[in-house]
Structure 1
């Protein structure tokens, strides 16, 4: 027998819990159930929300960011209207996180650079190798894609990085890239690419201050790890 949300005690229903205890008190399925609003005669809205999350369990709820409404609508009990609501809510959240990152005005260390870049790169399914271009006071002039690679590698040449630096009159730069796997551990290729860029920066008199590898909400600074000279 399927338990419907209306059969739950009032303080266990997702909407009522949110209003009483706040959104942070709800699990992912409960939050998603509020967006879906209603279930079917055969399944409660909580059950449908759990089905949606189970569909993407390999990468977790983050995978919803990459889902088109039509794909979500294929799940029984969702439909296009509900799928559009979910996708709209996720996009609002993504924009809010990117807006918060804009408050990073100057980079004083890898934490600042990562905080600026993570909202832009955490959901990408391919590697994006980017250059964060800084002025003499370490204010961010721009962050630009250098290359977009496969799920396992980015192809980077120093000329592309320093062409961007010259275009923006950058005094220095930080390079970053994401690992779609969520594991920010640098590869040997990452270390080799970084050293080539650091050496080129010395010749160009545009220092490469760091290479930061992002994985989900985590990051590793190659400079802090002593992986480059």
Structure 2
């Protein structure tokens, strides 16, 4: 009597690749199961798991699969052009992730570093831009965010908006800065008040505000150096 093909619906639900991935995590899946998820469907006579097994057998496990062409994949039963393209795209994406080298992050060790980082972007602006630089434990810039545009005052610059991004980025600390369109970086009463409010909020949240730097025209002023940031 001819043996009936094993279809994916014949596999217990708890043992199907997608269900196992959701239940136990992707790391427990075999290469066959990962391939089966990418292939999605089998053929009339074979389950997707069996088709995945044929692919692995044809390419010596995953050893040669990374270099397989679409034409070579299409020679296998159950693999058409669409599936071959999807497999090739997944392999290429994995290769790019493996080879990815993060760009070197800018390190801030002084107010001068802050100035060098933003001076040319800010010194010609006609409105005040309030910006936060979010840093990791090595004082590398994780993210730069323009938070407010307009005259600086305590009602506009709310600590909630400043520190929301810090929490989102898991930042260890932050540096605030803004420009003075007049070109004179001397802090105003409002600048000092905003600085104190933000510093207090950072102390509560455990995210240190390292400085508030005011950018003028080729000049800057650090409120930390002026004694307003402790």
Cα displacement (A) at 1:104 = 7.3
166-175 or 103-112, larger mean C-alpha shift: 103-112
Structure-2-length-normalised TM-score: 0.52
- Specify the structure having the higher radius of gyration (Cα): 2
Q: Which residue of 2 aligns with 1:115?
A: 116
Structure-1-length-normalised TM-score: 0.53
Whole-Å Cα distance in 1 between the matches of residues 131 and 208 of structure 2?
15
Question: Structure 2 regions of 5+ residues with no counterpart?
Answer: 1-102
Task: Give the length in aligned residue pairs.
Answer: 127
Q: Which residue of 2 aligns with 1:196?
A: 197
Q: Counterpart of 1:197 in 2: which secondary structure?
A: helix
Q: Counterpart of 2:142 in 1: which secondary structure?
A: strand
Q: Counterpart of 2:183 in 1: which secondary structure?
A: coil
Return closer, same or farther for 1:120/1:153 CA change in 2, 3 Å cut-off: farther
Q: Which residue of 1 aligns with 2:220?
A: 219
Q: Counterpart of 1:108 in 2: which secondary structure?
A: coil
Q: Counterpart of 1:166 in 2: which secondary structure?
A: helix
Q: Which residue of 1 aligns with 2:166?
A: 165
Q: Which residue of 2 aligns with 1:125?
A: 126
Q: Counterpart of 1:165 in 2: which secondary structure?
A: helix
Are the equivalent residues in 1 in contact too, given 2:210–2:229 (CA < 8 A)? no
Whole-Å Cα distance in 2 between the matches of residues 228 and 115 of structure 1?
20
Return closer, same or farther for 1:212/1:107 CA change in 2, 3 Å cut-off: same
Q: Which residue of 1 aligns with 2:136?
A: 135
Q: Counterpart of 2:160 in 1: which secondary structure?
A: helix
Post-superposition Cα deviations, 1:156-186, rounded to whole Å, max 9, x if no partner, equal 0000100111121111000000000000000
Question: Structure 1 regions of 5+ residues with no counterpart?
Answer: 1-101
Q: Which residue of 2 aligns with 1:97?
A: none
Q: Does residue 112 of structure 2 align to residue 105 of structure 1?
A: no
Q: Counterpart of 1:160 in 2: which secondary structure?
A: helix
Cα displacement (A) at 1:208 = 0.2
Are the equivalent residues in 2 in contact too, given 1:210–1:221 (CA < 8 A)? yes
Q: Which residue of 1 aligns with 2:188?
A: 187
Q: Which residue of 2 aligns with 1:174?
A: 175
Are the equivalent residues in 2 in contact too, given 1:212–1:220 (CA < 8 A)? yes
Give the 5 Å matches for 1:72-87. none
Cα displacement (A) at 1:111 = 0.6
Return closer, same or farther for 1:104/1:217 CA change in 2, 3 Å cut-off: farther
Q: Counterpart of 2:221 in 1: which secondary structure?
A: strand
Whole-Å Cα distance in 2 between the matches of residues 186 and 198 of structure 1?
16
Cα displacement (A) at 1:105 = 1.7
Are the equivalent residues in 1 in contact too, given 2:153–2:194 (CA < 8 A)? no
Are the equivalent residues in 2 in contact too, given 1:123–1:216 (CA < 8 A)? yes
Q: Counterpart of 2:212 in 1: which secondary structure?
A: strand
Q: Counterpart of 1:164 in 2: which secondary structure?
A: helix
